[in-house]
Each structure stands twice: as C-alpha cells, then as structure tokens.
Structure 1
Amino acid sequence: MEFIEDKVFEGIKFQEEPLAKAEYENCVFKHCDFSGANLFEFKFSDCEFIGSNFSLANISKTAFRDIKFKECKLLGLHFEHCNEFGLEFTFENCQLDHSIFYKTKIKKTNFKDSQLKEVDFTECDLTESVFENCDLNNANFDRTILEKVDLRSAYNYSIDPENNRIKKAKFSIQGISGLLNKYDIKIEN
C-alpha cells in the first residue's frame, strides 16, 4: 500500500477524482467531498479533515487513528465497521446525524458543538468522553458505557440510567429530565 504524508488536499471531489488507496499520515483535507466514496481499508493517521463531506461514504475497515474532524458533514456513517485498532477521533462543529457507533470502543472522544441527531450508541464504550454543547436529539443509548462522560452542556438527550452504565457521569441540572424521560413525568422550575 502506498504511503502519503504531510500533504494538503483541497476542494477535491473524490467521486470524480478517486483518492488513491493508501496510508495517509499527517495530511490535511480541506473542503473535500468524500460523499458516497469507497474508503474501504484506507488508513488515516494524525490527519485533519476540515469542512469536508463524508455523508454515506463506505468506511468499512477504514483506519481512523488520531483524527480531527472539524466542520464536517458525516451523515449516516457506519463507524462500527471501521478498523478498531487505534480508532480515535475528535469532532468539532460536525453533523453526525444518523451515524452508527454500535459496539465501538471510543473512550475519551471529544464531541464539541456538534449535531448527533438519531445517532446509535448502542453498546458503545464512551468512557470519559465529552459532549460539549451537542444536540443528542433521539440519539440511542442502549447498554452504553457512559462512565465519567461529561454531558453537562449537551442537550435533547434521553438516557435510561437503568439500561446504561453512568457511574460518575456529569450532567447539568437542566439536563436531568433527559434521565427521567421513561417515567413520563413533568419537571418544572
């Protein structure tokens, strides 16, 4: 497999100009369009994606090691099919609606100012992750490990404490209703 490092890719539509199957290290992808692209078995290490669109890309067996996604559109991605070895990323100002993290181990992941509507975190290990100012409307938490997770500034979440591990997780008083939704009670100031 080809090895490409320290390169900047800008404004490329990879449906028209396919990205070479390679191992990319310390590369920057600015305003690139990966939507619907086949990234099967690609390897990305220490890369940054800025303002790029990954919607509905095939990321099966794709390696994402120490990756920064900033202002990216990542709609409907199946992160559960990624290469698990070294899987690590951060998300800032990203749209991750309808993406799936089923059974992924993504401890200490930072989600900042991101939209995670209807994201599936079933059986995901999110230990010590941070959801800073994130919209978790209809996100699915089922048998999810949320120990030491920081949800103090997250909103629109619904988490069943009896069905998820939430030991030492941090919540704000405003978000406490998201832990009580299943009881169909009204909380007022």
Structure 2
Amino acid sequence: MNNYLEFDEIISGETYNDYRFKPSNKRINVSEVTFNNCKFEQTNFDNSEWLDCEFNNIDFANCNFNQSIIYRSKFKGCRLLGIQFDESTFKDVSFMDCDCTYLSLFAAKLTNVIFKKDNCDDSNFSSCNVAKSLQFVI
C-alpha cells in the first residue's frame, strides 16, 4: 500500500484502490467516491457525511460514525466489528458480506437499508426509527 493521501485531498467522483488515508481535523464530507481495499488511520468519523460512496473490503472495526449521514452508499466485504453508528441517518444504504458483529445503530434513522449475507451477531438496533424498509437477507 504505497499510495498515501491526506484525507482532505479526496476528490469527488474518484476511485481509490489500495490507498492509506491520513486523519482529518476537519468535518468530513465525502461524495461520489469508491474506496477499494483502503486503510483509514482515523477512527473517529462522528458528524461526517457520506453521499453516493462505495466501500469495498474496508476495515472500519471499532470506528465511530455517531450522528453521521450516509445516503445512497454501499458497504461490501467490510469489517465493521464494533462500529458505532448511533443517532446516524441512513437512506438507501446496503451492507453485503460484512462482519457487523457488535455494530451499534442505537437511535439511528433508517430508510431503505438492507443487510445481505452479513454477520450481525450481538448488534444493537434499539430505538431505531425505520422508515419504509429495513431488511436482513441471508
């Protein structure tokens, strides 16, 4: 993984393969970006915004995305073990083949969210506000 980039240098519409991203001190707003096999040095993504993004084979284990907004995005083959999405808002988001063990979506707002072939053992979906659809497909 020789590609090293400041988080703030992410460009909308780009695809990043095997990049390592340095942490950002600014509020995170990312749109129309695909991340493949990337590493994020940052673990706190609270109050961030992710629109039209794809995450493929990303390790977000034990990261915080509390009070974040995630719209029209896909997570595939990601490690989301212990991730915190408390009080976040999701719309048209899919998770496929992810390890979501101990995932927390406490008091999250979920609209058209699907978990397909995911391991969601011991995850917290309490106090969620579900609009339209929340699906678990085995």
TM bin (shorter chain)? 0.7 to 0.9
Q: Distance in 2 between matches of 1:149 and 1:61?
A: 24
| Structure with more contact order per residue of length (Cα contacts < 8 Å, sep ≥ 6) | 2
**C-alpha distance in 2, partners of 1:121/1:151?**
17
Query: Cα offset for 1:54?
Result: 5.8
Q: Larger radius of gyration, structure 1 or 2?
A: 1
Q: 1:125 aligns with which of 94, 98, 121?
A: 94
Structure 1 residue 40, shift from structure 2 partner: 3.0
AA partner of residue 44 (structure 1): Y
State the partner residue of 1:136.
Answer: 105
More strand by share: 2
The match for 2:83 among 114, 126, 130 is: 114
1:109 Cα deviation after fit? 2.3
What CA deviation, in whole Å up to 9, does each residue of 1:5-60 have, x standing for no partner?
72xxxxxxxxxxxxxxxxxx3x3x7xx7x5xx46333653213347x346522323
Q: Secondary structure of the residue that 1:131 maps to in structure 2?
A: coil
Distance in 1 (alpha carbons) for counterparts of 2:68 and 2:133: 21
Unaligned runs of 5+ in 2: none
Q: CA RMSD in A?
A: 3.0
Higher percent of residues as helix: 1
Instruction: Give the structure-1-normalised TM-score.
Output: 0.56
Distance 1:141 1:154 in 2: 15
Using the size of structure 2 for normalisation, the TM-score is 0.72
Query: 1:116 and 1:59 mapped to 2: Cα distance?
Result: 17
Counterpart for residue 31 of structure 2: 60
Q: Does 1:102 align with 2:74?
A: no
Percent identical among aligned pairs is 19
Q: In the alignment, which residue of structure 1 is the partner of 2:16?
A: 44
Matched, 1:153 2:122: yes
How many residue pairs end up in the alignment?
134
